Homo-oligomer: A and B are copies of this chain.
């Protein structure tokens, strides 16, 4: 791609700072090395092959996906060890089987019911398909998964005792509730519980399925605040690659670490209401305001200098309409400092949701846009 400047881009669009991305990814790999466990990056945030490679620090490796479309996209690019971290249902086995066979890859699947376990067994017999299965353990988030002492864990385990085509390989837990606090001690405690309950759940497996068990845990906060991860095979985490205001608001990262921003243009000056209008609205930024629980002042995103990507005073996107964003200003000198046509960058409130509106990343390196990387949205 021909090198571009920010001025050459149509707004709104995503800017991805490659150096920050690389630094963020390196820190996570180092943390997992220190914890003596494998990092299985969750690509639901970036949905990009190039970003996944940077996260792994190599051409391929274990990854986590959130949709079957992601699974197929990454499989087609040579990723052959994929964990699909959303409960599978019988109807989706067909597509899963197709992807596994077409790309000769393993897509590990997650279940939390005896019913689905039996359906996998039936499907496998009928179509001679091999699946690798993890049982989801709910370690406190209250979303998917079984309590670590639930007797259904043993029941599911039994289903696969004599199965030749599919294997129960372990358990998966996700402490998503670690996002709901900014208290380090609480995150550490959640991290301990995530690890301990995942490990304990294995004890209820029937003998035959006991080894070698995969114990897959993770969320970005519980990775960085883990006291130890003895017995844990792997960590799944994703948001650390980009970071966002939601994470910064909880003290998990610093604002200067955030690698992804939305490039926007000033399109109007509303003098009656002291607002600067930009072309990044609800679709370009999303209406996710997860950060605001602990940082109400960031609105739908913090407004940054386009060149440094760092906050411009305390300017924030205060309101959003479908294609309009408004920056409320108390100091009217901003009208002169930000004339119509000015470029700005906006730090995302929650990067996973913001990025989902875009097809690609404009990759910023040494102050120029050197590349464009695709994302795989949808299902």
Which A residues form the contact surface with B (CB < 8 A)? 7, 10-13, 44, 66-68, 86-92, 95, 112-113, 115-116, 138, 142-145, 147, 176, 265-270, 272-273, 275, 277, 279, 282-284, 286-289, 321-324, 326, 339-341, 352-353, 356-359, 377-379
Contact of A340 among B113, B145, B356 (CB under 8 A): B113
- Provided the pairs A86-B279, A144-B277, A269-B113 are in contact, do residues A357 and B356 lie with their beta carbons within 8 angstroms? yes
Complex-state Cα separation, A95 to B279, whole angstroms: 16
B322 touching A352, Cβ below 8 Å: yes
B277 touching A87, Cβ below 8 Å: yes
Query: Which residues on B sit within 8 Å (CB–CB) of A66?
Result: 322-323
Complex-state Cα separation, A13 to B67, whole angstroms: 13
Query: Which residues on B sit within 8 Å (CB–CB) of A143?
Result: 270, 275, 277, 321, 324, 326
Query: Which residues on B sit within 8 Å (CB–CB) of A284?
Result: 379
Complex-state Cα separation, A86 to B268, whole angstroms: 10
Instruction: Give the residue name and chain of the B residue nearest to A69 (CB).
Output: B10
B113 touching A323, Cβ below 8 Å: no
A67 touching B323, Cβ below 8 Å: yes
| A302 vs chain B, min Cβ distance (A) | 18
B324 touching A142, Cβ below 8 Å: no
| A310 vs chain B, min Cβ distance (A) | 23
Complex-state Cα separation, A288 to B116, whole angstroms: 32
Query: Which residues on B sit within 8 Å (CB–CB) of A379?
Result: 10-13, 284
| A110 vs chain B, min Cβ distance (A) | 10
A340 touching B273, Cβ below 8 Å: no
Query: Which residues on B sit within 8 Å (CB–CB) of A147?
Result: 272
| A320 vs chain B, min Cβ distance (A) | 10
Query: Which residues on B sit within 8 Å (CB–CB) of A87?
Result: 267-268, 277
Complex-state Cα separation, A251 to B270, whole angstroms: 31
- Provided the pairs A143-B270, A272-B138, A340-B115 are in contact, do residues A86 and B323 lie with their beta carbons within 8 angstroms? yes
- Provided the pairs A142-B275, A144-B277 are in contact, do residues A268 and B176 lie with their beta carbons within 8 angstroms? no
- What are 27 A-to-B residue pairs whose CB atoms are below 8 Å? A7-B91, A11-B379, A12-B379, A13-B379, A44-B322, A44-B323, A66-B323, A86-B279, A87-B268, A87-B277, A89-B265, A89-B266, A89-B279, A115-B339, A115-B340, A142-B272, A143-B326, A144-B270, A144-B324, A282-B288, A283-B353, A284-B379, A286-B287, A287-B287, A356-B357, A357-B378, A359-B378
Known: A143-B324, A359-B378. 14 other contacts (CB 8 A): A7-B91, A86-B279, A86-B323, A87-B268, A87-B277, A89-B265, A113-B340, A115-B339, A143-B275, A144-B324, A282-B288, A286-B286, A287-B287, A357-B378
A340 touching B89, Cβ below 8 Å: yes
Query: Which residues on B sit within 8 Å (CB–CB) of A91?
Result: 7, 265, 341
Complex-state Cα separation, A279 to B92, whole angstroms: 12
Contact of A273 among B89, B116, B142 (CB under 8 A): B142
| A296 vs chain B, min Cβ distance (A) | 17
- Provided the pairs A322-B66, A356-B283 are in contact, do residues A113 and B144 lie with their beta carbons within 8 angstroms? no
